[in-house]
Structure 1
């Protein structure tokens, strides 16, 4: 039977096992100044310890004596240095590889994960390399753009010089071609005007000014100038051809085209041209009669026009022509000349014995012998 427990006297402490007092005293001394709860817990431990009148009996082997309960050893408090010493030594981490196996992390000496930027400057070197590469590419693009720009400007300058200032495209007088001069235009005069531009590059030749100069020449109705690369010019003329000879004072004849423009002068009436007899007493009326007669002659087909010998016009509404065989055609005014011409040609073939054919009213022609 277990004897009753003796009352414990306050202020006495139960002796502790060997090896635990120093660690407990060190922890209590470090924590007593800062924690009230820790001091209360120390006081409670002291009250539970047996008094001096009840010494603890121990056997020679260090076990508690019979009749006394076995004491539970108090847990030991380990300092941070002790915990670190008990840990097994860790192998140093390989550079560029994290011990945890996760990407972008590494472990320091204490075992905590460190950011990837701390890997011996590897990331910093990569960023510097990328920045240098981008700078080099940007510099390369700038120089390439400058080079292409300089090359383009040089090529354009070379082409401009070759086209406008060199003799590569200069006009060669032997390569000038003149056509369409007819029977009234002086082709030599036209050629001389064009060859004055010899040695000038074709792009610099003023074709507009040259055209105005040729149009001012006699009997030139129109002109078209075109460049023939690399060193020639083609000049195509439209000449004014005379359709009648008009008597002039001094026993001369003025050669007139269908528009009433004087293209030449002759002492006698040319064999292939009719003469026009117009009363010039009234200047304005005579001019209108002349215009009507020229309009009729200009609209006639070549076959019928070459068979006419004389043209008379008392007024602008009474134009008459006399053929080489003596027959007379009355045209009236210069209106509807094409229709009147078709009717007159039909009647000339249908009634060869008619001496007068009146087509002034083409819908109702009249013939007489």
Structure 2
């Protein structure tokens, strides 16, 4: 078989005939497009789209030249001699691609200057925070000093007032307890401690301490009269409360207060018979206490009181004293039901007897 002759002439085919001029042009155009892709190499998807668009326009123009614009004297069109197109960067910035707002190039950042700006912002923020923290500490310190340690709210002894005391509860004793808090800020004054200490005084049933800002304190005491007065053989009188605590010395009349005759007032307070008598007398109403002319307590279960109207009441001991009082009051309200009896025995309140 005869070998095939390849012609090197751009217009000749392999068999010596003339090759169509448009075919040659397209081949050259393809090579030019590939060469253009290399020279125009652009990283990124938008760059590749621009290159493909440019290549399509070149191919379309070369085709039009092949079909419509070629002259009889031209053999073929060299794409390398065609009018150059805009670069990819120019096309990206053109209005057809949305302008620089859509495909704007990133701003070149000066990293040392940016780092210096950030450090300055951090310093400014830390200084502001430190200043605020210092201001808060100063304000809290000043407020603490003003409220707790300055003379602004200091309790003054001259502004401590006492009320409710009587002959048997000394006002001086109450004042001495309250005066222990003088010189302190009213915020630090412990009123509960004051009330407890005053309440432990003999004859005091309750106490209430109230702060009077900015410098005062008022103490209200509820004091009771003595449950009885212990009369010793030597004639000395000792006032005691229902719990057997000694009250102030008796310098006044003891009228209206029951009297218990004992040998020694101090030692008698340990006697159980005397203790039971004090508990009973301490619970009686004031009207009945004033009628008592004599108290006998030979044993702890035989406490007896004699009234000024001639009645004798045998109480026994202090157990069930509320019921015993109710029975006695009921009988004394209507003396007719006693049928002339003068002795009421409520040692056993549910089986009270009269004679």
User: Taking structure 2 as the reference length, what is the TM-score of the superposition?
Assistant: 0.66
Cα deviation per residue 1:18-50 (whole Å; 9 max; x = unaligned)? xx96x89xxxxxxxxxxxxxxxxx9x95xx66x
Q: 1:279–1:314: 8 Å Cα contact kept in structure 2? A: no
Partner of 1:354: 341
Moved more, 271-280 or 325-334: 271-280
Partner of 2:97: 101
Q: 1:128 to 1:250 in 2, by over 3 A?
A: same
Q: 1:240 to 1:262 in 2, by over 3 A?
A: farther
Query: Whole-Å Cα distance in 1 between the matches of residues 19 and 258 of structure 2?
Result: 160
Q: How much does 1:139 deviate? A: 6.0
Cα deviation per residue 1:84-139 (whole Å; 9 max; x = unaligned)? 43134438966973566279999xxxxxxxxx5xx5543x4599999999878766
Partner of 2:156: 172
Q: How much does 1:322 deviate? A: 0.8
Query: Secondary structure in 1 aligned to 2:348?
Result: coil
Query: Whole-Å Cα distance in 2 between the matches of residues 88 and 94 of structure 1?
Result: 13
Higher helix share: 2
Query: Whole-Å Cα distance in 2 between the matches of residues 137 and 86 of structure 1?
Result: 57
Structure 2: where are the runs of 5+ without partners?
36-77
Q: 1:311–1:319: 8 Å Cα contact kept in structure 2? A: yes
Q: 1:331–1:360: 8 Å Cα contact kept in structure 2? A: yes
Partner of 2:168: 184
Q: 1:145 to 1:199 in 2, by over 3 A?
A: same
Task: Tell which structure's C-alpha radius of gyration is larger.
Answer: 1
Alignment partner of 1:152 is 2:139: no
Q: 1:241–1:263: 8 Å Cα contact kept in structure 2? A: no
Query: Whole-Å Cα distance in 2 between the matches of residues 314 and 308 of structure 1?
Result: 17
Pairwise CA RMSD of aligned residues?
A: 4.6
Q: 2:233–2:262: 8 Å Cα contact kept in structure 1? A: no
Equivalenced residues, count:
300
Q: How much does 1:340 deviate? A: 1.2
Structure 1: where are the runs of 5+ without partners?
1-7, 25-41, 50-69, 107-115
Alignment partner of 1:363 is 2:350: yes
Q: 2:314–2:344: 8 Å Cα contact kept in structure 1? A: yes
Q: How much does 1:268 deviate? A: 8.1
